[in-house]
Amino acid sequence: MLLCSTALADLVCGQVPQGAANNPSFGPLIVTPLKGDVYWTRGGTGGNNCNTGFIVGDNGVIVVDAKLNPESAQAMLAEIAKITSKPVTHVILTHSDGDHVNGLPAFPKGIIIIAHQNAAKEMDAPMKAGGRGAPAREYMPTQEITKNNEVLTINGVQLNLIHAAPAHTSGDLAVFLPDQRILFTGDVMATTRPEPLVHREKGGTSGGFVDFYRAFIALDVDTFVTGHGELVAKSDIQKRMTEVQEKRAKISAMVSQGQSLEDIETSLGESAAATVPAGGRGPAIASLTEIIYAEVKAK
């Protein structure tokens, strides 16, 4: 499978990029059955919606990620109701970004919301300011994951919740369904950008992506549902891991030779201007090169 690419700034700022009409993240909600009562949902109103999923269990439905806004989450809940009359009992958050959590107010109050403990902290910090990753107080995580591999059985469904290392954020969780051999990667893997996006302000690290990819490759997975974009295979995960490893090694060698960030960007054919959000709004978005450079210098 080929990995797609979209302007990094457009993805982060929520602006619709050129060609968005062909991007399922910017349109009507699409529900695709995968295997064994597991469904993949993409699209929704209001901008660049994340991929989500849901699993119909014995006594209820488990949802993976809550969409960008309540309108998109309501559309997802309406689609779930067409498939089953069972109630949604749990939402698992792959991380704290607003496009994955801000749809939570569409869900019934009192629902169980599962997230990594670091994601819960990241959601709590901007709560009063109402910033990115800040849902209403009654939709904060109610169950926090503290282990690197938490095995749960919910509504008769076995789930492995994996936190290999801080990567996209400090609180990333991948959701593995061993019986169906399906894994929801969250934004640790996305096909809508050519390189991993690291939220440095949320404690993300470039090396954490390698740790996650290595953990993914070790699992018996047939289908990887990415955080944004298309489904991928294990070969795509391997390719992305190799690319990140090679870039980390290359930049580390350049830093040891005394090269500046500008020198490295020039050598790699990159431009710092490409990391400025569309329209010049908001702070600059650090590229993977900038992140790796800062990490190497900090050592």
Query: How many folded domains does the chain comprise?
Result: 1
Is position 161 within any domain?
Answer: yes
Is position 155 within any domain?
Answer: yes
Is position 21 within any domain?
Answer: yes
Is position 285 within any domain?
Answer: no
Is position 106 within any domain?
Answer: yes
Sign of the CA dihedral running 135, 74, 17, 2: positive
* pLDDT value, residue 252: 97
Task: Check whether 281 has a pLDDT greater than 50.
Answer: no
Q: What is the mean pLDDT of residues 228-243?
A: 97
**C-beta of residue 102 within 8 angstroms of C-beta of residue 48:** no
Sign of the CA dihedral running 259, 263, 269, 274: positive
Q: Is the pTM of this model over 0.95?
A: no
Query: Residue 284: which pLDDT band, with cuts at 50, 70 and 90?
Result: low
DSSP strand pairing (182-186 vs 88-92)? unpaired
User: How does pLDDT run across 287-296, given as a tens digit for each residue?
Assistant: 999 999 999 9
Is position 1 within any domain?
Answer: no
The whole-angstrom separation of Cα 258 and Cα 254 is 7
Lowest-pLDDT range, 18-27, 39-48, 117-126? 18-27
CATH number for the domain harbouring residue 76? 3.60.15.10
* pLDDT value, residue 160: 98
* pLDDT value, residue 135: 61
Lowest-pLDDT range, 1-15, 60-74, 143-157? 1-15
Domain membership of residue 98 as a residue range: 8-250
* pLDDT value, residue 7: 28
Vertex 158: Cα angle to 102 and 160 (nearest 5)? 65
Calculate Rg over the CA atoms of the chain.
19
Is position 282 within any domain?
Answer: no
Is position 225 within any domain?
Answer: yes
User: How does pLDDT run across 216-234, given as a tens digit for each residue?
Assistant: 999 999 999 999 999 999 9
Query: Residue 132: which pLDDT band, with cuts at 50, 70 and 90?
Result: low
User: How does pLDDT run across 100-127, given as a tens digit for each residue?
Assistant: 999 999 999 999 999 999 999 998 876 5
User: How does pLDDT run across 245-272, given as a tens digit for each residue?
Assistant: 999 999 999 999 999 999 999 999 987 6
